[in-house]
Amino acid sequence: MMIHSGSAPRARRFLPILLALFAIAALACTRNLSPTGGWAAPVVTDDAVFIADKNGDLRVFDVASGQFRNSAGAFFPGDDFDVGKIYGKPIIKDDVIFLSAYDCSGADCEANVIAIDRNVDNIPRSDSTGLLWRDLRPFTPPDQDSQDRNEFNRWFNIETEIVGDIALHGDTLIFGTSEIGDDDQPGGFLIALDTTPGSVSGDRIKWMFPVEKRIWGSPIIVGDTAYFTSMDSHVYAVDLSDGISEKIDTSHDRLLWSFETDGAAIAEPLIRDGKLYVGDFEGSFYALDLEARALDTTGRTLDLSREWKFDAKAWIWAKAVVDGDVVYAATLSGDVFALDRDSGQPIWPAPTEIEGQIVAQPAIYDDPSKRSGSRSGRLLAVPSGDDAVWVIDAATGQELGKFATNSGVKASPVVKDNLLYVHTLDRELQWFSLGDRSQLGCLKLQSGERCG
């Protein structure tokens, strides 16, 4: 098997990483996650930035004015009710915003999926104008008493956790969950949800694909296929077409292929030019060929003529970055690797180390001081869970500076119109100049006021 290896992690980083891994492993074994949120990347359009705060509020930043719309309160849900903590970023399609959230009380978790009219300024509980679904009832697993459920009729409610981003396939939302309801249910599901506005006859769930452990990562959709990872140490490719009628796909009729990874996997896959790039919690980073995966009946054998595995020696949570003939992988130990896409061989002499865990996908952009488009003029903006967004030369791995957030960042930074937008763990939206990395503005998500 073609395995390349990175440098051994420094001893001084063992303790925090071991503690982090212990905490994650504990969460994987027990349904007792206390959600905090704050990991949702900003969604940037031509005139606005949509940002989901960790307390469950959705804010809309107006680019022209430099202020939040409806500065007196959140765009959704306002001050009157709580939908839960938000990890995944919202989806904007035409005039509709799709959003997911969840919260737990001990081992009991409830998640909500919501469709919102983006043209409504504020949607308090007392006035459901702007909520696009009607006549909904909570989804109740077969072994659960529906009398125990709260009755909602304006958004989709289900007893589980939704940690990763939701995805959209046509008019269907696709997302992963943990177990639903009682602990004797399968460990996770990929769920397809009908987004038809108004009322639907029967259940809004189109189908459910069960796996053995939780799905905390985000699905990526290419054509009619969803690719996702699971804590059961697999990458899955699932058919999204409507021709398969089984509601709960226990026979896995939708399964196109699966690949067994060395460890549990949470990272969102990245697909480019027929290759899938993803890392796992054993420190393995893979380049999988989609055609080879469809031909491999074992589900674990790499085709060494077109696939490879790299040993990063630390757990990988962040989505990879591809730029030209290079793929960049980042670890929870703070290492960033540049790997040749064809061979998996390291390009830099050693990985670049930043301080703090890397949970979110770095952003890559043209250095304003260099000729646009050349590899030597490309920079990586790498978010640190401890503090700042670090800037690394994509060609050499040299650390060039920081965007000074004065807070940890576990959401992917977003580049738009020579600006870098950052959602911090201190519940702030900050934006910076790409040129000199100076902060141009900062707003508190809770109050809408300027920082400082």
CATH number, domain with residue 371: 2.40.10.480
| Cα-Cα end-to-end distance for the chain | 54
Higher pLDDT, 54 or 389: 389
Measured in whole angstroms, the distance separating CA 123 from the mean position of its chain's CA atoms is: 26
- Note the pLDDT of residue 128: 57
- Host H or E run for residue 51: strand 48-52
Let me know if residue 110 belongs to a domain: no
Range(s) of the domain holding residue 443: 364-452
Whole-number Å distance between alpha carbons of 316 and 331: 5
pLDDT greater than 70 at residue 50? yes
Tokens 């992917």 belong to: 412
- Note the pLDDT of residue 109: 87
In the β-sheet with 172-177, what is the strand arrangement from edge to edge? 167-169, 172-177, 188-194, 205-211
CA distances from 424 to 54, 155, 335 (A): 10, 28, 20
What average pLDDT does the structure give for the chain? 84
pLDDT band at 447 (very low <50, low <70, confident <90, very high): confident
- Host H or E run for residue 26: helix 14-29
Let me know if residue 192 belongs to a domain: no
Lowest mean pLDDT among 100-109, 287-296, 401-410: 100-109
Percent of the chain with pLDDT over 90: 60
pLDDT greater than 70 at residue 284? yes
Mean pLDDT across the stretch 339-362?
A: 96
| Residue 132, token pair as written in the block | 């696009």
Domains identified in the chain, total number:
1
- Note the pLDDT of residue 448: 86
Let me know if residue 111 belongs to a domain: no
Let me know if residue 3 belongs to a domain: no
- Note the pLDDT of residue 134: 64
Tens digit of each residue's pLDDT (9 = 90 or more) over 396-444: 999 999 999 999 999 999 999 999 999 999 999 999 999 999 999 999 9
pLDDT greater than 80 at residue 328? yes
- DSSP 8-state code for residue 169: E
Question: Greatest CA span in the chain, whole angstroms?
Answer: 64
Percent of the chain with pLDDT over 70: 80
- Note the pLDDT of residue 295: 96
Mean pLDDT across the stretch 34-52?
A: 84
Residues with Cβ within 8 Å of 152's Cβ and at least 6 positions away in sequence, in order, are 112, 136, 137, 138
- Note the pLDDT of residue 157: 86
Residues with Cβ within 8 Å of 373's Cβ and at least 6 positions away in sequence, in order, are 366
Please tell me the pTM assigned to this model. Answer: 0.89
Mean pLDDT across the stretch 40-54?
A: 92
- Note the pLDDT of residue 149: 44
- Note the pLDDT of residue 343: 96
Let me know if residue 432 belongs to a domain: yes
Let me know if residue 420 belongs to a domain: yes
Whole-number Å distance between alpha carbons of 86 and 173: 17
Phi, psi of 147 (to 5 degrees): -65, -20
Let me know if residue 411 belongs to a domain: yes
Mean pLDDT across the stretch 177-189?
A: 80
Lowest mean pLDDT among 33-47, 81-95, 303-317, 430-444: 33-47
Among 34-43, 126-135, 368-377, the range of highest mean pLDDT: 34-43
pLDDT band at 19 (very low <50, low <70, confident <90, very high): very low
- Note the pLDDT of residue 358: 96
pLDDT greater than 70 at residue 216? yes
Let me know if residue 428 belongs to a domain: yes
Lowest mean pLDDT among 133-147, 161-175, 211-225: 133-147
